[in-house]
Amino acid sequence: MTQYSTYSLVLREHIADLDPLIDRWTSGHFRLTGAAQGEAEEFVGRLKELRADLVSRMTRPDLDGRIASQVADGMTVR
């Protein structure tokens, strides 16, 4: 398994953790009003932003090379 595939697996696991939270909070199961509703919408918005960031990290074509160079640089310091 390459570093990139391991990193992708970790990202997919984090995304899989976020999806049920987003679904739960957007399903209408919770009936919130006033300030609590505003905070919940902000919370869901932040969860969606985090999920989008994780997805974008998986699709970067330069990721594999970037990780490899960081590991090489870290090993050179030792």
CA distance 43 to 37: 10
**Residue pair 55/19 in contact by the 8 Å Cβ criterion:** no
Are 67 and 7 contacting, i.e. CB atoms less than 8 angstroms apart?
Answer: yes
> Positive or negative, the Cα torsion across 70, 75, 76, 78?
positive
First to last CA, the chain: 25
Question: How do residues 55-74 score in pLDDT, each as one tens digit?
Answer: 998 877 655 554 444 444 44
Domain coordinates in residue numbering, the chain = 6-74
For the chain, residues with pLDDT lower than 70 are 1, 61-78
4: its two tokens: 């990139």
Does pTM surpass 0.75? no
